Structure 1
């Protein structure tokens, strides 16, 4: 994905001198682009985009450093030992070379067994590569930490696909844990070639040995001579999500195929299969979509789930973490051209970011998809930028949708990885609140979900440096972007609720 062009923050001060007062239109009560007030606000937004690092208990604090040292190294050592036990299934990834790449938030180190349960799983994908993952579920007899209501299974399911550029599944445990505590069974996994999952396919006669056929180029219509390599390709995320769904839905009576598993230690079926609610959902809002299953994806995983919701009838709703997309075919190259464009079918929530991988002043902030370069400091960014990627297509199709743009958010907002900049302080909290409410509405059919989705106050539970979960209350207006519009177009018990500009940015 394209990276934003980053400019030094000092450019803001220079722009203030050059531009002075501007006549550009601003939202009511906002400073005009190019004015000193506007530039100062932008500078603060840039600083806030590093809030996960600079907060009092953030990644640059002594308490985070201590917690990381106690958590990261044992996790990394265990991963290396596990890899050593399967030398014929190599995972040649940064996660297996850099301590902390695939560890997650050390403040959540004690979650398993206290707030929920984690069950490791292994299975092979369609190419025979060994996939590593984990299942998250409520503890027996648990209650919802927000409402105090008993959590009684079986539960709806969620399959979560990571982002590309070597995203690892533990980076997304924060969201899997938050959902499991609310009454879901969640599968996270590493796609082929990322995290702890194997890099190579097994296409030869000897199933225990990785094999690619580079002797000749594949004929027209045939697979790549080494499918899944490199990992940075849409196929790994589209097919990876489908294979993960197949595994998630497997049972002892309908086991998972585990192609080319050989002697690998794999699970024949989902070990928590009894906890997933397999009864058809009579309250689905999409005809024919009765499987109580959601898919969540980040980055290239978000593109994958944006596509799959239209073609995989097992999917009842979608959450796309930067970004929900209808803009183009998911296959920018020849590989996926035959699958066609993205089509809105099921309700979809997009959690989208102001910045891409880097942080830039407003006049040079093109995000992930916009090909434009540096613009005029006298012009504000297009407020509909984040609505246009997917939300506009969903609403035009008459399908429920919502897009939320957390303030000062970056593309790394949705990952937990130590000391990798930048990410805001409360981007994960905002994203989790809306994800919980969205799935509460479309999978659990909780009548209270609408009050959260449409409300102006967000309630969240997060761990502090002692591993104690603390309540956090956030004002919606203060934690949504003032550059890019957030909005919703959804059916409620009292009628259709529509607002393309809940933060009063200028899209209404």
Structure 2
């Protein structure tokens, strides 16, 4: 590993690559340990490989989920989901230790609705159990509740990978929608165009059509790997989430979409009362949008244009108006309070000498990581705009921290736990008008599933679980600001 590091350093110097002035060198032994910690969810204490309940639960849950998805597809033969989530066993299973959550700790119900291009999107809505108590405070939960819409990440992310966060929020008094964007998970790959030539046929779009043919040109939403899919998905999911029996969601019934859900089945539990302390002018609807990866870029954009959104959470990464790179933030305007949870590593775990640029597009940084790197993507834009914001960078975290994926892809042991705690407290502050002080605690309690319908408390120490390479920071009205929570020296 050090040979690789030396080679990268030599190449960077030969190319004249300059490190930021604030970059700090990393001890080789510490670098090696950080890289090992980035696989903690698989190999760490109580991890997937070290919990004897995990593998049997994975086999059971994967089989049940895969068979269920096949049956759903067979029932909708003209709504093809040609995706990894639909075709690969276990891809969409999430954390199998949570398989018994529905009915014991909360309620989950599948839904389906069409996007503006006519493609069938499948999702799940979550709510608290009737008469339940908050598992952390013991307080009786009484509706109506604030709402949350979660948009997944790209590169074939699927909603099952984000059930952990939806469930954690639902059992603490939120109504939550997760869904698959067009072309991912179990959602339909192709759109349905209003054309007699393609009604109820495959394919449902003509990539070479022209206006003279009387058809829409191209295949809207194809390929799935485009920012507009996630922006459109977020906006349409908000429309579905806020639908009611008297204001149905406008599902496109062409192409055999009779299996669609006409409105949010948990509509009655969503708190539609105006927030007496809105987070921004005209923003008094108690709903948050959360996104990961390209979903994070999408919610960063939608929060600036959709006046139903009262706060936003971006999971790697919040994108401001001046962000560049693979997730362009051009035109984004900070409007509502934003929580940014961001990662040290991208899809792969690389030496510190490759920590330049973005974690998603690492480039040489011969002198080590720049502590300001994660601030620059969006947090600084929010603070400069005077909008409440917080940046959390978990130790040894990867871009896959926020997805439940079995066994094969890197993620730290406690990054997901820490993320859930901060998201819960952020939404309590901005959707339930709670105090800001809990966001600044240095020790947290979190409940983890360990198998057999058992949940075990863990204590999360902020000092040990925040990055010692990159700034974590906050700027909150009425509280103040701190641009160096973890003492990184930035």
Provide TM-score, normalisation by structure 1.
Answer: 0.88
Corresponding residue for 1:20?
none
Going from structure 1 to structure 2, the CA distance change for 1:242 and 1:26 (only over 3 Å counts) comes to closer
Is the Cα–Cα contact under 8 Å of residues 292 and 314 in structure 2 kept in the other structure?
yes
Q: Deviations over 1:95-120 (max 9, x none)?
A: 12211110110110110000000011
Q: Distance in 2 between matches of 1:366 and 1:77?
A: 44
2:275 corresponding residue in structure 1: 281
How does 1:69-218 map onto structure 2 within 5 Å?
69-203=59-193, 204-205=195-196, 207-209=199-201, 210-216=203-209
Q: Do the aligned partners of residues 462 and 367 (structure 1) sit closer, same or farther apart at CA in structure 2, a change above 3 Å counting?
A: farther
Counterpart secondary structure, 2:85: helix
Measure how far apart 1:287 and its partner are.
1.4
Structure-2 separation of matches of 1:324 and 1:383: 17
| Alignment deviations for residues 318-374 of structure 1 (CA, whole Å, 9 cap, x no partner) | 0000000115479989xx9xx951110000000000000000111112474676622
Which residue, 285, 298, 308 being the options, matches 1:304? 298
SS of the residue 2:308 aligns to: coil
Aligned position for 1:227 = 220
Once the two structures are TM-superposed, the CA of residue 67 in structure 1 deviates from its matched residue by 1.4
What is the aligned partner in structure 1 of residue 15 from structure 2?
none
Which residue, 451, 458, 464 being the options, matches 1:478?
Answer: 464
Measured in 2, the distance between the counterparts of 1:69 and 1:454 equals: 40
User: What is the rounded CA distance, in whole Å, between the counterparts of 1:190 and 1:184 in structure 2?
Assistant: 20
The secondary structure found in structure 1 opposite 2:82 is coil
Match of 2:446 among 445, 453, 460: 460
Q: Which of residues 25, 45, 53 in structure 2 aligns to 1:33?
A: 25
Q: Cα distance 1:433–1:223, how it changes in 2: closer, same or farther (>3 A)?
A: farther
Decide whether the 8 Å contact of 2:358 with 2:373 is kept in 1. Answer: no
Asked whether the equivalents of residues 344 and 399 of structure 1 are also in contact (C-alpha less than 8 Å), the reply is yes
Q: Which residue of 2 aligns with 1:431?
A: 419
Distance 2:385 2:9 in 1: 43
Distance in 2 (CA, whole Å) between partners of 1:32 and 1:242 is: 41
Judged with a 3 Å threshold, the aligned counterparts in structure 2 of structure 1 residues 187 and 486 are, in CA distance, closer, same or farther, namely same
Verify the 8 A CA contact 1:124 1:261 in the aligned structure 2: no
Aligned position for 2:311: 317
| 1:255 matches 2:274 | no
Among residues 368, 371, 374, which one is paired with 2:364 in the alignment? 374
Relative distance call for 1:289 and 1:15 in structure 2 (3 A) is closer
Q: Please tell me whether the aligned partners of residues 300 and 319 of structure 2 are also in contact (alpha carbons under 8 angstroms).
A: yes
Q: Which moved more, 1:95-104 or 1:364-373?
A: 364-373
**Residues of 2 paired with 1:482 and 1:182: CA distance?**
31
Residue 497 of structure 1: how far off its partner (Å): 1.8
Question: Structure 1, residues 78-131: CA drift from partner, whole Å, max 9, x if none?
Answer: 111111111110000011221111011011011000000001101111011111
Q: Number of residue pairs matched?
A: 476
Larger mean Cα displacement after TM superposition, 452-461 or 128-137: 452-461
**What is the CA deviation profile of residues 35-66 of structure 1, one whole-angstrom value per residue up to 9, with x for unaligned ones?**
xxx11111100000000000243223443211
Partners of 2:76 and 2:458 in 1: CA distance: 43
Q: Unaligned stretches of 5+ in structure 2?
A: 11-18
Moved more, 455-464 or 303-312: 455-464
Q: Does 1:497 align with 2:463?
A: no
Q: Is the Cα contact below 8 Å between 1:356 and 1:367 reproduced in 2? A: no
User: Paired residue for 1:42?
Assistant: 31
Cα deviation code 1:258-306 (max 9, x no counterpart): 0244532111111110010111111112111011100000000000000
Q: What is the CA–CA distance in structure 1 between the aligned matches of 2:342 and 2:410, rounded to whole Å? A: 15
What's the offset of the Cα at 1:496? 3.2
Q: In the alignment, is the contact (CA less than 8 A) between 1:123 and 1:130 conserved in 2?
A: yes
Instruction: Output the CA distance in 1 between the equivalents of 2:419 and 2:402.
Output: 8
Q: Structure 2 vs 1, CA of residues 32 and 285 (structure 1 numbering), >3 Å: closer, same or farther?
A: closer
Quote the Cα distance in structure 2 between the aligned partners of 1:186 and 1:267. Answer: 16
Residues 392 and 466, structure 2, Cα contact 8 Å, conserved in 1: yes
| TM-aligned CA deviation for residue 388 of structure 1 | 0.7
Q: 3-state SS of the aligned residue for 2:205?
A: coil
Contact 1:160 1:188 in 2 (8 A): yes
TM-score of the pair, normalised by structure 2: 0.92
Shift of 1:397: 0.3
Q: 2:320 aligns with which of 326, 332, 345?
A: 326
Q: Does the Cα contact within 8 Å between 1:202 and 1:260 map onto a contact in 2?
A: no
Question: Cα 1:310–1:331, aligned 2, differ >3 Å: closer, same or farther?
Answer: farther
The yes-or-no answer on 1:402 pairing with 2:390 is: yes
Whole-angstrom CA distance in 2 between matches of 1:215 and 1:133: 31
Q: Check conservation: 2:78, 2:256, Cα contact below 8 A.
A: no
In 2, are the aligned partners of 1:158 and 1:293 still within 8 Å (CA)?
A: yes
Which structure 1 segments of 5+ residues have no match?
A: 1-7, 18-23
Check whether the contact 1:412–1:422 (CA below 8 A) recurs between aligned residues.
Answer: yes
Question: 1:467: Cα distance to partner?
Answer: 3.3
Q: Distance in 1 between matches of 2:487 and 2:234?
A: 36
The Cα of 1:15 is off from its aligned counterpart by 9.3
CA contact (8 A) 1:130 1:261 kept: no
